[in-house]
Amino acid sequence: MRFPNARILVFAKAPVPGQCKTRLIPALGAEGAARLAETLLCQTLERVTSAGLAPVELCCAPETTHPLFLRLSERLQLRLQAQRGPDLGARLQAAAESALGRAEQVLLIGTDCPDLDAGYLQQALQALTKQRAVLGPAEDGGYVLLGLRREALSALPLLFTKMPWGSAQVAQITRERMRDAGLAWTELASLADIDQPQDLVLFLREAQVG
């Protein structure tokens, strides 16, 4: 592995109908949204693990015991851990703190961005050899990747507390908070993710082309 002292944390919800990808249920139905969540999770983990860049850990919600998580862990040799905390920010912070206790750098990603590939991850990890943070913004105003070095540990509460998750202001607020914390960061190209029904059009078109 090119970055053995880093960890790539993939955050995922169990693909239970009605409990995941809920904003897509009006377009796909609960079962369809769950199937899409499973597809995105499997594709993301295949891309990330096959890249061979750094150890990969799957941060599971609500627990690690869903059969899909267990199958993926065995097949792809993943470390599983349950997400812990009352909201997304707390869960991200807890996982990042844990990883930075075992590694020098951490990347936090989800499963909603089909364009987040090995090259993008490599750019992020290379950026962390020079800067204490790296941001991969989403086209909808959120972010698809946040990377941090151990030296940024003290800034974690500022980056993850009282954040309007799911809004179009997340990336900009994160930039402002990194600036307030004195963190220099590298910013990568914006990527599209799949959160809303209108995002499905591009995803399905690319799937047909592929």
DSSP secondary structure string, 104-160?
SEEEEE-S--TT--HHHHHHHHHHTTTSSEEEEEBTTSSEEEEEEEGGGGGGHHHHH
* pLDDT bucket at 197, cuts 50 / 70 / 90: confident
Q: Can you read off the two tokens belonging to residue 94?
A: 């807890």
pLDDT one-digit tens code per residue, 76-93: 999 999 999 999 999 999
Q: Classify domain 6-209 by CATH architecture.
A: Alpha-Beta Complex (3.90)
Q: Span 155-180, mean pLDDT? A: 97
The verdict on whether omega for the bond into residue 62 sits within 30 degrees of 0, i.e. cis, is yes
pLDDT(39) > 50: yes
Q: Span 178-199, mean pLDDT? A: 92
Domain extents in the chain: 6-209
DSSP secondary structure string, 57-108?
EEEEES-S-SHHHHHHHHHHTPEEEE--SSSHHHHHHHHHHHHHTT-SEEEE
**pLDDT (0 to 100) of residue 78:** 95
pLDDT(68) > 90: yes
Residues 6+ apart with CB under 8 A from 208: none
**pLDDT (0 to 100) of residue 208:** 43
Q: Span 33-56, mean pLDDT? A: 96
pLDDT one-digit tens code per residue, 142-155: 999 999 999 999 99
* pLDDT bucket at 206, cuts 50 / 70 / 90: low
